[in-house]
Structures are given as structure tokens and as C-alpha cells.
Structure 1
């Protein structure tokens, strides 16, 4: 099936947002119903601290409808730039079915990281747009003295690509990252 831009395959979106969620079970049900109606597949994690998802559809129009819903949503209030888009150029979908779960954390840290201040604005929390992040990385590469770039992705993702001189913690998942930091932070100061 065409994904809306005349290519066979599946549009994929990834996103997360830290935001105070007072009724996560209601929003879990809302997300299940919306994704089922739109025919989206993938995984959504919802907690009291926000939402984290990777979703796919063979219809770009259905993905755009989902994005518009979350941008207009009174709790999530997403922005178009909050979504990372990719394309799965295969006939079979990248995910089998839909999983929507209520979890303790939207990014698994094993409970060792304090929840972000949900009352703070994105700017107060240090949120960077993708453009600001890339500019900060360019500056870090220029100013190698006093700058350490830690790649917090899994080791296999690091091998696919990373920033110049980035440190690979060689972790399998994000929750292992904090053990790495505890053991190595002093030598990176």
C-alpha cells in the first residue's frame, strides 16, 4: 500500500514528552481507541510523567491525523517538531500489532533519575529544538577541551553512527547508562 507519497512502505514516527498526566489510564484507553481507529501499529508508553511512542502506518495521512490530534491535545499539546519521522521501506509493517502500556517511567532509568519538574517550561528544563541541539553539538566538536559527548544510545546504535569523539558507554539499554556514569564520571571531569 502507498504511504501517501507514492512509495511502498510504512511511515514511522517516534516521540516523547514529559508532561504531568493526572489520568494516565484514561489517556491509555484514548490512545488505544485512536490508534485502532487509524490503524496504527507500534508501542505507546503512558505514565504520570508523560508519553513515549513509536508508531507506524502504511498511510502517511493516518500518521498526520494522529500528529494533528496530539498537537491539539489538551494534556500532551505536542508540536510538529516534537515528532521524528522515518520510513520503513518494506511491504511488511515494522511492528506487529499495537501495544499501549501504563508504566512508571516513559524512559526506563530503573528509578535512579528524578522525574523532571512538570511545572517548568521547556526552556526552563533546558529543552533544545533539533536545530539548537545540532548547533550545540557543532560547538562541542569545535571546543574539544572541556567537552565530553556521551552517546546514551545502545551500543549497537552507536556502531551505526555517532558524533565525532563521542564516548560509547557500551550499554544494551538506557537504564544501564547510570551505572556507567557512576563508575566513570570522575575520569571525565
Structure 2
């Protein structure tokens, strides 16, 4: 049995978009020492594929970080299977707020050095000594305290479309940069309440432990991140202090929390908070694009990319031959339009 997908992703994506099957999108993580991450990965792939699970999962010697989509009728079986693994028993599952069932179209489980790239040497501090976890109501109380500083522990393209009111929004591309910015900003304010948040909580687990290690006394983190927060305020009828969209790392690229649109189209400047990826396979820039510009530029980020996607596929392949790119994102604050 192949322990990885062998079918063209474009075929799988078209199949996923066409199916009426109801699916549930969830995310979860757990820091735990794994003696053999590769063996654990292979067993997990075999089990999850049999349940029809799609998604992206990172396995490392330090634990697991997962964003997955599960057939609705298999959800309880999936949860029971997960909880049967002793160190994941009772694990919090963050259920998507705005879910059309089209978040993932294949299963990918990768073994990495870390489940989140943070640039930290874990041997130098206690990664389990995390900040105090707070729910939505406690978060609001702290946020209203003038002695509190709120820091968004996500990248600029995430906070650009949605964030908590009054939060510091570092203009960075990676979590590694985020940690350094947070440390520098708070260097002379170690007696303040440091209130941190991220998408689902995992980045704050490591960030809060690091900030405590370097001397911050009152460190708090939003339990379950924005995803759990959105569910809590909905269930309790609490007014949201988060405005806009919560960026997510799957095909949806965002879950709407409030109707506020706080970003603009990167091409024309109109109010818009819909992220997309340039359809030029040699580009795939992540940027914000309104419907009018989507039509004008044929889902591309520029006239150059629009011209390229109009070429025969063979020519496009030749143009991008040998080109390897990391994730490309439109820089926050950039005003130039195409």
C-alpha cells in the first residue's frame, strides 16, 4: 500500500469541488516526544486514508500539528481513533467556524524537524512552562485592562484581513521573525500583562513559554486561538473583539468572524479581504483580489502572469523549468498597483 498520494492534485481538487459529500474541517496539535516520528507517520497515514481524511499534518519528534477535513459520517470514528492513542486522549479539536467542506482535497503527512518553524533551541528552556490559557471572557477582561498589551502572533497576511482590536500587528512573514519582534517590543515592559493569540493556539504554546523564559512575568494566551474564540462567542452570544476574517491555511483561505472588511484589494485598492493564489504555476503569489480584478486579470496577480497563463501548457512548463519557490506573499503596506 502506498503511504502517499499518487494521483494528480488537480484531478483530486476537481473531484473534491464536485462532490456533495459533507465534511468537517478541524485542527489540532500536541507537543509530545515521539521516539520514531517516521513509524508514527506511516501508521497515521494508513489509518487516516482508510477513513477518507484529507489535510496537512506535520509530525516531528516534538509532536503533531494537523489541519484536516473528515467525512461528516466518519467524524466520531476519527475522534475515537485519535483518542485511542494515549497521549492524544481528550485532545482539543478546533472545529472550523465557516466550513463549506472544501478545505482540503488530499492527505499529506510530512515528517519535519519541528511541527512549527520557530528558530528556537528547545533544549535551552522549558517548553512546557507555557502562559496562562484564557477563554473568550477572560481574554476580553484582560484586553480591557490598560496594563495589558495584546500581540498578534501571526504573519502580516493573516492579520491584514482580521485581528483583535488594539492588538500589535508585527509586519513579518514568518513566526520566527514574530518571536523576535515580540521580544523587542516588550523588552522594557516585562511587568505588563502580555496577551498573545494566534489561529489555533499552537504558535502561542511555544511563544508564551519563550517569553516566560526570558523574564516576562504575566503571560497569557488565547486558549484554542481565534478558531475556539469564534465558537465560544457564538455559543455565549458575546460581542466579538476580533474584527474581519480569520486566515486559515487551506483551500478556503479564511473564515469570516465579523462582517467588517478591513483590508483592500492589492490591485485596485477597493475594500476586499479575499485571499487568492495567482493561478500562474510559476508564481502562485498569495494576495488579496476583488472580483472585478479577478475577472480583469484572469485570477492572476499581474499582466505578466496573465499573459503567461494564456500560453500553451507546454510553453508554461518550459518557462518555469528549474524554478523552485517558497511561499510568495504580497507584502503588507505595499501601495503599488499593477
Band of TM-score, shorter chain: 0.7 to 0.9
Write the deviation string for residues 63-104 of structure 1: whole angstroms up to 9, x where unpaired.
33222211221232243xx111115326xx322321111111
**2:75 is matched with which residue: 63, 67, 73?**
63
2:89 equivalent to 1:72: no
Residue in 1 that maps onto 2:99: 88
User: Measured at CA, do residues 56 and 24 of structure 1 come closer, stay the same or move farther in structure 2, by a change above 3 Å?
Assistant: same
2:162 equivalent to 1:161: yes
The equivalences for 1:34-183 within 5 A come to: 34-57=47-70, 59-79=71-91, 82-86=92-96, 87-89=98-100, 93-111=102-120, 117=126, 125-126=130-131, 128=133, 132-144=134-146, 146-183=147-184
Partner Cα separation in structure 2 for residue 23 and residue 40 of structure 1: 22
Partner Cα separation in structure 1 for residue 36 and residue 132 of structure 2: 25
2:35 equivalent to 1:22: yes
Tell me: higher relative CO, structure 1 or 2? Use CA pairs within 8 A at least 6 residues apart. 1
SS at 2:24 equivalent: strand
User: Measured at CA, do residues 2 and 95 of structure 1 come closer, stay the same or move farther in structure 2, by a change above 3 Å?
Assistant: closer
User: Measured at CA, do residues 127 and 41 of structure 1 come closer, stay the same or move farther in structure 2, by a change above 3 Å?
Assistant: farther
User: Measured at CA, do residues 104 and 188 of structure 1 come closer, stay the same or move farther in structure 2, by a change above 3 Å?
Assistant: same
Shift of 1:114: 5.6
RMSD: 2.5
Partner Cα separation in structure 1 for residue 95 and residue 111 of structure 2: 24
Could you tell me whether the CA contact under 8 Å between 1:11 and 1:60 is conserved in 2? yes
Residue in 2 that maps onto 1:6: none
SS at 1:106 equivalent: coil
Shift of 1:112: 5.0
Q: Which has the larger radius of gyration?
A: 2
Q: How many residues align?
A: 170
Stretches of structure 1 lacking an aligned partner (at least 5 in a row) = 4-9
Shift of 1:31: 1.1
Residue in 2 that maps onto 1:7: none
Partner Cα separation in structure 1 for residue 31 and residue 122 of structure 2: 13
Could you tell me whether the CA contact under 8 Å between 1:155 and 1:168 is conserved in 2? yes
Partner Cα separation in structure 1 for residue 125 and residue 84 of structure 2: 23
Shift of 1:159: 2.7
Partner Cα separation in structure 1 for residue 132 and residue 81 of structure 2: 22
Shift of 1:115: 8.1
TM-score, with length taken from structure 1 = 0.77
Could you tell me whether the CA contact under 8 Å between 1:17 and 1:51 is conserved in 2? yes
Could you tell me whether the CA contact under 8 Å between 1:21 and 1:75 is conserved in 2? no
Residue in 2 that maps onto 1:31: 44
